[in-house]
A = this chain, B = another copy of it.
């Protein structure tokens, strides 16, 4: 059994990692850390885990920590991650980092959108953990930067079109909607039930969300040219789920049948991407609790635009699920181990 450590286990990504790993046939959680809850079983913080993950939270020194697991997930805020990851690697451990700290390849871009980077030497080594795009590199990586939730939903939806140069990159507009787990588990008024329920709003409008440079990096690589996007995130009154509605002008006259074939062919061998049958579209409730990314599209002939829609569970394929998928690849396990659960609906 692969011994697993979760650094920063008391957030929603932490409990989802614990849930998934509790059902993993080849991994077991041996250490979970939480500064705030040290001394308490993780199942006291999250009673859903009782009887499944009763590991007691600790707050060890890096030296103690590395001894207690073979593989680590760092589920801490950016900036914190860049301090925690180096000693883990130095001790010979492999790491999937769920923060933004190692996702941006261009240090200047990272420092413009986030802050000064204290472990910039690791950026070059880190592999962007989107298995559908970087499977081979992930298999050989020591450090995987787990993608952001929005970028996952966007890159998978646009990859086939950009690679085939079927859309005009300058016309890409992404209107994305996320469940409230995306706001994290810290106590703040804006995330209270009564502020979110029965409501809907946009936030970080006008090109200011920090996932933008990450998306542009990956879309530019796919397009083999610089891509600048308009991206608007919204907050949904649901716990889990991201639906991204993506617009672009079609560059060629291509039929829906051909496009359907392109998507089908691209993802035929992918276990976690489901292309919707022609005429159907994704919905977040159909991927809830699973590692699936569902993709559908329509062409608006009146305006020459394609609308691509993807749905993921933001804390599964958008965070913890994808992290376990990466862990499997990095350890030569079945890529789907622990991730075979069917979405729960309703």
Which A residues are within 8 Å of any B CB, using their own CB?
Answer: 12, 15, 18-19, 22-23, 44, 46-53, 170, 173, 175, 177, 180-181, 185-189, 191-203, 205-207, 228-230, 232, 234, 236-241, 243, 245, 247, 274, 276-277, 280-290, 292, 294, 298-303, 305, 307, 309, 311, 340-346
A274 surroundings in chain B (CB, below 8 A): 50-51
* With A207-B303, A230-B303, A239-B194 as contacts: A202 and B342 at CB distance below 8 Å: no
Query: Across the interface, which residues of B come within 8 angstroms of A46, CB to CB?
Result: 286, 345
Would you call B173 and A286 a contact (CB within 8 A)?
Answer: no
Closest Cβ neighbor of A15 among chain B residues: B345
Task: Please name all residues of chain B whose beta carbon is closer than 8 Å to the beta carbon of A245 when the two chains form the complex.
Answer: 175, 202, 232, 234
CB distance from A92 to the nearest CB of B (A): 30
Residue numbers in B under 8 Å from A207 (CB-CB): 300-303
Using known A-B contacts A46-B345, A193-B193, determine if residue A200 contacts B287 with beta carbons closer than 8 Å. Answer: no
Other-chain contact of A230, B50, B52, B305 (Cβ < 8 Å): B305
Contacts of A47 in B (CB 8 A): 276, 280, 282-283, 286, 294
Contact A285 B198 (CB under 8 A): yes
21 A-B residue pairs with CB within 8 Å: A19-B344, A47-B294, A52-B342, A53-B342, A170-B303, A173-B305, A180-B192, A180-B193, A180-B197, A181-B194, A193-B196, A197-B239, A198-B288, A199-B288, A200-B236, A201-B282, A205-B307, A206-B298, A206-B300, A207-B300, A230-B307
Q: In the complex, which residues of chain B have a beta carbon less than 8 angstroms from the beta carbon of A170?
A: 303
